[in-house]
Amino acid sequence: MSDQSPDTLVVQGVSKRFGSTLAVNDASFTVRRGELIGIAGHNGAGKSTILKVVNGTIAGDSGTVTVNGIARSADTTVAHPEKLGVRTVYQELSLCASLRVDETAAIFDHSARGLSWRSTAWHNLRTVLDEMFPGHGIRKDAKISELSIARRQMIECASTMIDSTVRPALVILDEPTSSLDAASTASFYAYLKKRAAEGVSVIITTHRLHEMIDNLSRIYVMRDGQVLSEQRAEGATKESIVTAMGLAAHESSRVAPIADSSTVTTTDARPTTASEVIVRLEQPGDDGASEVFEIRKGEIIGFAGLEGHGQLLALEAVYRASARRSGAVRAPRRTAHHAVSVTGDSAYVSGDRGVRGIFPLWDVATNISFSSLGKLTAGGLVKPKAEAALVHEWYSRLGIKGQSTDPITSLSGGTQQKALMARAMAVGSDLLLLEDPTRGVDQATKSEVYELLRGQAAEGQTIVWYSTENEELRNCDRVFVFRVGKIVATITGADATEDAVIALSFGGQDVAPIDLEGAVR
Ligand SMILES: Nc1ncnc2c1ncn2[C@@H]1O[C@H](COP(=O)(O)OP(=O)(O)OP(=O)(O)O)[C@@H](O)[C@H]1O
């Protein structure tokens, strides 16, 4: 890039307060033309807030924001940031559930006019989607409500790059890959690098720190509202970023040593103990005989694979097959690929916290205690002290910050996720079913969550854990890898490296387009 080009973004001295919370404190940073930069920080550090002040969605209290040489006071909002070439993907996805994909595309694409507006908009969106996420499998007539969270995330990301009436100059991506698998994430960053070379500037926040290090040029680190340091991505390490965030730079102690993927064992990864079988998944084998996969009491099992290959369908089937009471058994549940039976009750942490997770009108405490009210009740009335004690316990176990009487929506995204984890873990069910449970959660808390899960498992709770973050699968005892709806490999957690999981997901061959989950989630 020419040194003569003006910086795409200059943020100077921006502050923003919500009541007693100083969310952003005198923050300054710069993004040059064609740069991919990251903003890292602990949950609640102020990342989403500063980005909303930059795009003018919310008014700051002080400071200035200069986009492409045009300065404005940070205390003014902007009605149409896209007219300034500023596009944003928010952490909480914002697509309208009742629209079709092509109708959704037209909202972002102001060049889609006239009788053929739908097809113009779809053509422009699909052009980006095909390059950003090859094999995305998204149809123009699908309703947004029918799409998985990963596919909605893909649509939001692609929509920022459509060359509409005003070309994108600054693209702001708040946790854009939090539901994407490794293959989609890799193609996404390859696309961003190409657009950056054409002059588009990009700001990304993510708690997947290795993504920042591998793909961006500079990383700003926020801590308690302040932009405290800047690191060149080349040379930065996870530890250097976590330390700058002010978090203990401890990796999970039990994470297994990285195995050589050539030695991955796929045939003999059976549970080592002979404890009670809690989940039984049966699927037809290639030779017509059925294959049975058992999950035993106290095991941590990962469900892995490329997005949309049946992991979530299986996880939901396990949930639906579980009983209302601990220890009870229900009739097996049949899906297209599996017959599932479960002994005992379960609690489920949804990966789609905006739609299937939080109760947005309730306070934090009620969001946490809701699923445990049965054990907090006497004579039909909730015991306030017992409820407060439960909320207090989980606040401290997961390091939740913020008043428990505040609306859940006033918490940062990662902190809301912690509240959802607390809700499910507090139930004390036989089975804990996790769908990308650490989505948006910072590195230090992740390590604590991993430890908590191991503690729960040691006490006899069985955990089934779907994750798009292959790195965290190493915390599992065993990992089931799915391809085209079926379990194709079972490996030990120690063998579950990113390379091994990807290799098994593809199975050394082209897999069918990812379209198993889309129509049902
Ligand atoms: N609308 C709001 N009302 C009240 N407080 C808010 C509001 N939005 C954000 N906050 C507070 O501002 C602080 C910064 O939140 P922000 O969402 O910017 O953090 P973040 O760095 O993006 O966190 P995360 O990594 O969890 O997404 C938090 O303490 C949060 O509770």
**CATH number, domain at 334?**
3.40.50.300
- Tell me the CA–centroid distance for residue 366 and ligand 1, in Å: 19
The last residue of a domain, from among 189, 216, 245: 245
For residue 382, what is the enclosing H or E element? strand 381-382
Flag whether the ipTM exceeds 0.90.
Answer: yes
Q: Which residue has a Cα nearest atom 17 of ligand 1?
A: 412
| 185 and 302 share one domain | no
Q: What is the mean pLDDT of residues 132-159?
A: 92
| 266 and 239 share one domain | no
SS3 374: helix
pLDDT in tens, 349-376: 988 887 788 889 999 999 999 989 888 8
Residues 204, 151 contacting (CB under 8 angstroms): no
For residue 92, what is the enclosing H or E element? none
Size of the chain, expressed as the number of residues it contains: 521
Answer yes or no: is 144 within a domain: yes
Core vs surface per residue 280-295: b (16+ CB within 10 A) or e: bbbbeeeeeeeeebeb
Q: Which residue has a Cα nearest atom 1 of ligand 1?
A: 410
SS3 89: strand
pLDDT at 221 over 50: yes
Q: Cα(320)–Cα(337) distance, rounded to whole angstroms? A: 15
| 201 and 267 share one domain | no
pLDDT at 256 over 80: no
Q: What is the mean pLDDT of residues 498-520?
A: 61
Q: Which residue has a Cα nearest atom 19 of ligand 1?
A: 44
| 232 and 320 share one domain | no
| 196 and 326 share one domain | no
All residues at 6 or more sequence positions from 74 whose CB lies less than 8 Å from its CB, including other chains: 11, 14, 16, 53, 59, 60, 61, 62, 63, 64, 65
All residues at 6 or more sequence positions from 304 whose CB lies less than 8 Å from its CB, including other chains: 311, 466, 467, 470, 473, 479, 480, 481, 482, 496, 501, 505
Q: How sure is the predictor about 520, in pLDDT bands with cuts at 50, 70 and 90?
A: very low
Answer yes or no: is 421 within a domain: no
| 81 and 178 share one domain | yes
Give the pLDDT of residue 274: 61
Answer yes or no: is 336 within a domain: yes
- Tell me the CA–centroid distance for residue 45 and ligand 1, in Å: 7
CA distances (Å), origin 457, targets 297, 320, 446: 8, 21, 16
Answer yes or no: is 458 within a domain: yes
- Tell me the CA–centroid distance for residue 217 and ligand 1, in Å: 26
Answer yes or no: is 513 within a domain: no
Q: Cα(475)–Cα(457) distance, rounded to whole angstroms? A: 11
SS3 51: helix
Answer yes or no: is 514 within a domain: no
Answer yes or no: is 397 within a domain: no
Going along 201-343, which residue ranges are E strands?
201-205, 218-223, 226-232, 277-284, 290-296, 300-305, 333-334, 339-342
Residue 322 is classified by DSSP as: S
Q: Which residue has a Cα nearest atom 6 of ligand 1?
A: 410
Q: Which domain holds residue 192?
A: 9-245
| 228 and 325 share one domain | no
| 301 and 156 share one domain | no
Average model confidence (pLDDT) across the chain: 86
Give the pLDDT of residue 272: 53
Q: Which residue has a Cα nearest atom 25 of ligand 1?
A: 43
| 269 and 237 share one domain | no
Q: Which residue has a Cα nearest atom 12 of ligand 1?
A: 23
| 100 and 61 share one domain | yes
| 223 and 287 share one domain | no
pLDDT at 464 over 90: yes
- Tell me the CA–centroid distance for residue 219 and ligand 1, in Å: 20
Report the atom number in ligand 1 closest to the C-alpha of 416: 26
The last residue of a domain, from among 245, 274, 294: 245
- Tell me the CA–centroid distance for residue 358 and ligand 1, in Å: 16
- Tell me the CA–centroid distance for residue 224 and ligand 1, in Å: 10
* Structure token digits, residue 373: 């009210």
Residues 7, 30 contacting (CB under 8 angstroms): yes
Report the atom number in ligand 1 closest to the C-alpha of 58: 1
- Tell me the CA–centroid distance for residue 167 and ligand 1, in Å: 30
| 145 and 197 share one domain | yes
Which residues, judged by CB distance below 6 Å to any ligand atom, belong to the binding site of ligand 1? Answer: 18, 21, 23, 41, 43-49, 91, 402, 410-415, 440
* Structural domains of the chain, count: 2
pTM comes to 0.83
Q: How sure is the predictor about 5, in pLDDT bands with cuts at 50, 70 and 90?
A: low
Answer yes or no: is 355 within a domain: no
SS3 71: strand
